[in-house]
Amino acid sequence: MKMSEYIDEAESVLLHTYNRYQIVFDKGEGVYLYDIEGKRYLDFAAGIAVFGLGYNNKKFNDAVKAQVDKLVHTSNYYYNVPAIEAAKKLTKAAGMDRVFFTNSGTEAIEGAIKTARKYAFNKDGKNDHEIIAMNHSFHGRSMGALSVTGNPHYQEAFKPLIGGIKFADFNDLDSVKVLVNDKTCAIILEPVQGEGGIYPATDEFLKGVRKICDENDILLIFDEIQCGMGRSGRMFAHEYAGVKPDVMTVAKALGNGLPIGAFLVNEKAAALVPGDHGTTYGGNPLVCAAADKVFDIFEEEHILENVNEVGAYLSEKLDELVNEYDFITAHRGVGLMQGLEFNVPVGPIAKETIESGVILITAGTNVIRFVPPLIVKKEHVDEMLKTFKGVLDKVNA
């Protein structure tokens, strides 16, 4: 069947919640994707910052296949070895004490919110606790996660959301301070805002928020779902500021494409006990075997070193674009999580770039996001730029 025929079929059966690019992908190899008509694309989106280790990584595939043949699912009434191994590696990498595995990012956020409410409930037995979240944040689409997502457009039709959520301005400590009271149980933020337009938190902001939390016995929740797992050049982006959270969420690159997320807590925030929380699939042997292998490959293939080297190169090149094109107004980012801000809508630019064979994604209406697989090389950056600049020149003309 032709691509257009598949797309017609898709639109007759799938719920129309996305305006998709008109591509049906077939397979991937390294940093390249191929559609079902054989066209090759250089991928600078990685399935929204997920496919860190690249497509068709043999070590990863072999580990997953071996686990498929052994055991895929058992439920959480029992223990399984891949979950134990993945938990040891994740807690060690994160410097956190305990982990709960979920199936997605949004579920990890639900767990973090429940942790915060239970922690406060244990202290005063009250049900009026508040959480401070950030404007322009993104934490997911389920009701709790949506409630702390600072984007009114995503929330509007789904109210009432969960109560007791207040919004402060990212990187503005005073705006956080004025919202703190004795009902506040948590402050939640992304160390680098992703969907909101690639905004890294300042060290000063993270340190200040940590201080507020310490002084008021409030839990600090870092959402590292997008910026974590090496994307920033550190295993977790908050390491740059040397500030540790009480609760942390991870997903996206954790399973390199298999659906696994997690929330981690320090011993103090381990407030959930039997009966408080659960999941049927979460942490099953298959997805945990994948996450376990991801950590091995990070070490064996020196992923962080590559992110730092190629991230610095990408960053330098994107700075040049800001100087070169008047409609590019800013460049922000860390490691292989970079963004270019435009003063024109970026939707058509992304679409044209994709049609020219390079996959890019947007963040909001005026930011182009660069989140390639973490194994990308400088030559791929050059290849991406050649195509991207071709498109920019057309826009400029």
Ligand X SMILES: *Cc1c(COP(=O)(O)O)cnc(C)c1O
Contact predicate 228/190, CB 8 Å:
no
**What ranges in 243-302 are assigned the alpha helix state H?**
285-300
What single letter denotes the amino acid at residue 63?
A
Residue 223, interface with ligand X (CB under 6 A)? yes
**Residues 60-99: x where in contact with ligand X by CB under 6 A, - otherwise, as a string:** ----------------------------------------
Closest-CB residue for ligand X?
105
Identify the sign of the CA torsion 204, 186, 250, 226.
negative
Q: 90, 148, 225, 288: which one contacts ligand X (CB under 6 A)?
A: 225
Please identify, using beta-carbon distances, which residue of 141 and 244 lies nearer to ligand X: 141
Q: Which residues pair with 187 in a beta bridge?
A: 132, 220
In whole angstroms, how far apart are CA 120 and each of 128, 139, 145, 210, 270? 10, 21, 19, 17, 12
Q: 47, 52, 54, 105: which one contacts ligand X (CB under 6 A)?
A: 105
Q: 140, 200, 257, 339: which one contacts ligand X (CB under 6 A)?
A: 140
Distance of closest approach, residue 241 Cβ to ligand X, in angstroms: 17
Alpha carbon 349 to its chain's center: 23
Piece of the chain touching ligand X by CB under 6 A; list 25-33, 100-108, 304-312, 350-358: 100-108
Please identify, using beta-carbon distances, which residue of 109 and 212 lies nearer to ligand X: 109
Residue 352, interface with ligand X (CB under 6 A)? no
Please identify, using beta-carbon distances, which residue of 339 and 387 lies nearer to ligand X: 339
Distance of closest approach, residue 211 Cβ to ligand X, in angstroms: 23
Distance of closest approach, residue 188 Cβ to ligand X, in angstroms: 10
Residue 129, interface with ligand X (CB under 6 A)? no
Q: How many distinct helices (H) and strands (E) make up the chain?
A: 13, 17
Token pair 């009480």 is at which residue? Answer: 246
Binding to ligand X (CB under 6 A): which residues in 183-212?
Answer: 190, 194-195
Q: 57, 67, 80, 106: which one contacts ligand X (CB under 6 A)?
A: 106
Phi-psi region of 159 (alpha: psi -120 to 50; beta: other; left: phi over 0): beta
Helix (H) / strand (E) element for 388: namely: helix 378-396
Piece of the chain touching ligand X by CB under 6 A; list 21-29, 137-145, 234-242, 380-388: 137-145
- d(CA 321, CA 328) in angstroms, rounded, equals 7
Residues with Cβ within 8 Å of residue 213, at least 6 apart in sequence: 187, 219, 220, 246
**Residues 226-245: x where in contact with ligand X by CB under 6 A, - otherwise, as a string:** x-------------------
Number of residues lying near ligand X (CB under 6 A) = 15
Nearest to 25 by CA among 354, 251, 306: 354
Please identify, using beta-carbon distances, which residue of 55 and 222 lies nearer to ligand X: 222
Distance of closest approach, residue 120 Cβ to ligand X, in angstroms: 22
Q: 24, 96, 146, 251: which one contacts ligand X (CB under 6 A)?
A: 251
Residues with Cβ within 8 Å of residue 23, at least 6 apart in sequence: 3, 35, 41, 354
**Which token pair is 358?**
């390079």
Distance of closest approach, residue 86 Cβ to ligand X, in angstroms: 17
User: Using omega within 30 degrees of 0 as the cis cutoff, is the peptide bond preceding 259 cis?
Assistant: no
Please identify, using beta-carbon distances, which residue of 130 and 190 lies nearer to ligand X: 190
Distance of closest approach, residue 184 Cβ to ligand X, in angstroms: 21
Distance of closest approach, residue 5 Cβ to ligand X, in angstroms: 29
Piece of the chain touching ligand X by CB under 6 A; list 37-45, 74-82, 218-226, 283-291: 218-226
Distance of closest approach, residue 106 Cβ to ligand X, in angstroms: 3
Contact predicate 170/193, CB 8 Å:
yes
Q: 57, 67, 104, 147: which one contacts ligand X (CB under 6 A)?
A: 104
Q: Which residues pair with 333 in a beta bridge?
A: 338
- What string of H, E and C letters represents the secondary structure of 317-372? HHHHHHHHCCCEEEEEEECCEEEEEECCCCHHHHHHHHHCCEECEEECCCEEEECC
Distance of closest approach, residue 196 Cβ to ligand X, in angstroms: 9
Distance of closest approach, residue 198 Cβ to ligand X, in angstroms: 11
- d(CA 58, CA 357) in angstroms, rounded, equals 25
Binding site for ligand X (CB under 6 A): 104-106, 109, 138-140, 190, 194-195, 223, 225-226, 251-252
